[in-house]
Amino acid sequence: MYRISINRIIGALFIAALAVFLVTSNVRLALNSLPLYEYGFHHYEVDAATGLSLGQLSEAGRHLRDYFNSSDQLLDVHVTIDSTTRSLFVEREILHMRDVKDLVWKVYRVQEGAFVYLFLFVTMGFFILGSNFGGRVRRLFITGSILTLLIVGAVAVASVLAFGPLFLLFHFVSFSNDLWQLDPSSSYLLRMFPDGFWRDATLLIGAASVAEALGIMLLLAVMEWWHRWRLRIARRKAPQFG
């Protein structure tokens, strides 16, 4: 009984880890995607809202991406406006971005931890049980993919119906201060990344996660079909006695 319970817990952790890994991997890709930033700048006409050129916005986006992956504590982005070079963001925005970076790095660590667990589970499972482990890990991958579809589906529906309140709740839960409460009329950070951008990014992350989950299920189905087909061929070729 105790052994069965442990096996179920380990399997449940694998299912959860797969869903977490798929979603956080796509969050990481989105955070590091300059084309995604540039899509937002163009689609939401951020150049008109900020007075910055698309080239300046792209350069600022590149600084943000690099900042998330650097050891720098504070964000330092300078632009030239009316022949004067100045810091793009005010102190409150810079301090908020420090909090954002801390959250980003936590997402990175969760993603990496999920990958390590998945890798060790599969490696040790085949090492200990051999080919007998194949059926179980296949079922776990399918269940984890289904869980991913359910989670992403729920988030997608909620985002379409009430993205604003959910985005606000996210900030209350994720940050222990009010630095994220910026003035929309003066904050370059808010004008560069309006709510519509974050809604689009969330849906894109969800779509990528769904595609990956479906891809895993399709790949496993093809592998299963291939295995069964080879077994049928082998049986036909086997010599018949009696």
Percent with pLDDT over 70 in the chain: 96
Has residue 242 got a pLDDT over 70? Answer: no
199 belongs to a structural domain: yes
Give the tens place of pLDDT for each residue, 185-226: 889 999 999 999 999 999 999 999 999 999 999 999 998 888
185 in a structural domain: yes
Question: Going along 135-179, which residue ranges are E strands?
Answer: none
Q: At what angle do helices 2-31 and 133-174 cross, to 10 degrees?
A: 60
Q: Is residue 242 part of a domain?
A: no
DSSP 87: E
Tell me the DSSP string of 132-160: GHHHHHHHHHHHHHHHHHHHHHHHHHHHH
**Is the pLDDT confidence value at 184 over 70?**
yes
pLDDT tens, residue by residue, 45-54 = 999 999 999 9
Residue 143 clears pLDDT 80, i.e. is over it = yes
Range of the domain at 66: 2-237
3-class DSSP assignment, residue 9: helix
Q: Encoding tokens for residue 147?
A: 């869980």
Helix, strand or coil for residue 86? Answer: strand
CA-based nearest residue to 61, from 88, 26, 23: 88
Is 60 exceeded by the pLDDT of residue 1? Answer: no
What angle separates helix 34-43 from helix 54-68, to the nearest 10 degrees? 140
Report the chain's mean pLDDT, rounded to a whole number.
92
Determine if the pTM surpasses 0.85: yes
Q: How many domains does the chain have?
A: 1
Q: Taking residues 103-120, what's their average pLDDT?
A: 97
Flag whether 131 is in a domain. yes
pLDDT for 239: 64
Helices (H) and strands (E) in the chain, counts: 8, 2
Residues 6 or more apart in contact with residue 148 via CB below 8 angstroms:
18, 19, 22, 23, 209, 210, 212, 213
